[in-house]
Structure 1
Amino acid sequence: MNLTIDIGNSNIKISKFENNKFIELLILHNELDIIKFLQSEVNNTFINSIIICSVSENISELLLSVARMVKNFIVFSHKTPVPIINVYSSPKTLGLDRLAAAVGAFTIFPNKNCLIVDAGTAITFDLLNNKGEYLGGAISPGLTIRYKALSHFTKKLPELEFTENLEYPGKNTINSIHTGVQSGILYETEGYICNLEKYYSDLHVLVTGGDVNFLVRNLKKPIFAQPNLVAIGLQRIIQFNEKNP
């Protein structure tokens, strides 16, 4: 069994793979939870490989020492070999979760033009061409950030929690905020898709992230939803490094 550990801005996702098939997802909330989980798994289950991908470079030595107990252990970094070509002009600044998601897209749709939309704390748009080249993308505020920003930078607008509401025109301030935030994300996403379709034939759009269901319900363009895209990419990176030590 392989474990992929994706330490993000909001939570920690641990995915289990058996014979290259995704079998289980666990959501944890802090590093201590990861350590307790790994200690239990290492003692009771055969684990072949572990890969850790973190938005922060600060991974505790205790967590690393537990992870090193398995046969193959990778701390995913910009130096880790991957099965795609990164032509980003500043490759060391590219978020590792974005790179892993691109590998995941390449795994699902090899040699296809792909747009990856990751709707999380931030919304990222990443382009991978049919040569397996990661070309770059865009970073935009996610749903939660947009709600918080409207309240923080104005004097009278309230801070709202996400409630799906696309009524237009909004008949009151609450509905207007919901409609503005949510429609803005949808129009932005569909705009990227429409523009890229002019230049990349047979574009495959993959959506993932914590707000993936909102996009799935409301985008009018054909999309492929894969909530575990980063994990699939990390699993592929494990395989690639096993074959290319």
Structure 2
Amino acid sequence: MTENKDITSEDTRHLPLLVIDSGNTKTKIALFVEGLMKLYEIFDTSDEKSILAFVHQHQAKGSIQTFGVSTSGLSELPSSALDVHWFGAQNSMPLDMDYTSPESLGSDRWALTNARYLETQKNFLLITMGTCITYNLVRNGRFMGGAISPGWNMRYKAMNTYTNGLPEAAYSDSTMILGLDTQSSLQAGVDIAIRGEIRAMAEQYVSSYELDEVFICGGDAPRLSKHLKKYIFAPSNYELYALMRLHEYNQK
């Protein structure tokens, strides 16, 4: 395993960079060389054995930096098991924070809002579509806060788990507002309702805080793109590129 070097040191600036985005269900890993993604893999976060094997395989090839963000238990592993510089409060960031409980702010929310600010320098709402839906408001170079609500799969699972008779339905690209049976009624109550929630929340934030843009990212974001065309949707694997940009920012 390679020695864990200081990411701000001058001699590491042009080394290959292994980036890890570990969420509650999926872990994405990419290898960047001089800003270009050369390799990309996705794992179930629960499959720690495969994740560790993949990281160790690439670290063993020579000098490489490893940088990541985690909302899973991966970041709690000792460095002897997983030698990664995890993104956190110790990193220099462009945004100031008004959030009154920074210790419980998800590192993914903080990372993505900072990365987007580096790109746009605007006042914006960043919405992440993952296990939870998060709304993140940035204005005048400050992270002001936002909101959190259940994500797509969580809503479907909750209706199955907390009732005696409702089945566990799943997202459909052809969901209609009028459910004609239990399955399609559940889908209308999740698929259509989430679109309405996103639209209503975004409009309220934009009008209340005079925002310049609404930016939507996360694994479930593509489900919204053809329904909410007035907003900006992140390109594929945006989160990994965002981490690469934050790593570069910390090297300056």
TM-score by length of 1: 0.86
Per-residue CA shift, 1:67-107, capped at 9, x if unaligned?
A: 54xxxx52222232222212211111100011111122113
Give the partner amino acid of 2:98: V
Unaligned runs of 5+ in 2: 1-15
Alignment counterpart, residue 152 of structure 1, candidates 148, 153, 161: 161
How far did residue 38 of structure 1 move? 2.0
Distance of 1:76 and 1:95 partners within structure 2: 11
Residue 212 (structure 1) aligned with residue 221 (structure 2): yes
1:44 counterpart SS class: coil
Residue 119 (structure 1) aligned with residue 134 (structure 2): no
Matches within 5 A, 1:131-142: 131-142=140-151
Distance of 2:98 and 2:241 partners within structure 1: 21
Size of the aligned set, in residue pairs, is: 234
Alignment counterpart, residue 50 of structure 1, candidates 66, 78, 81: 66
What is the root-mean-square deviation of aligned Cα atoms in Å? 2.1
Distance of 1:214 and 1:167 partners within structure 2: 14
Give the partner amino acid of 2:231: P
Partner of 1:223: 232
1:80 counterpart SS class: coil
**Alpha-carbon contact 2:128-2:217 (below 8 Å) kept:** yes
Distance of 1:92 and 1:227 partners within structure 2: 29
How far did residue 150 of structure 1 move? 1.3
Partner of 1:6: 21
Partner of 1:17: 32
Unaligned runs of 5+ in 1: none
Q: Which moved more, 1:82-91 or 1:12-21?
A: 12-21
Per-residue CA shift, 1:36-85, capped at 9, x if unaligned?
A: 112221233542x2112211465322xx23654xxxx5222223222221
Distance of 1:32 and 1:84 partners within structure 2: 36
How far did residue 33 of structure 1 move? 1.8
Per-residue CA shift, 1:8-46, capped at 9, x if unaligned?
A: 100111122222344443102222222211222123354
How far did residue 220 of structure 1 move? 4.2
Partner of 1:181: 190
How far did residue 115 of structure 1 move? 1.3
Partner of 1:100: 111
Partner of 2:42: 27
Alignment counterpart, residue 93 of structure 2, candidates 78, 82, 92: 82
Distance of 2:106 and 2:97 partners within structure 1: 12
How far did residue 117 of structure 1 move? 1.3
2:89 counterpart SS class: coil
Give the partner amino acid of 1:78: A
2:90 counterpart SS class: coil
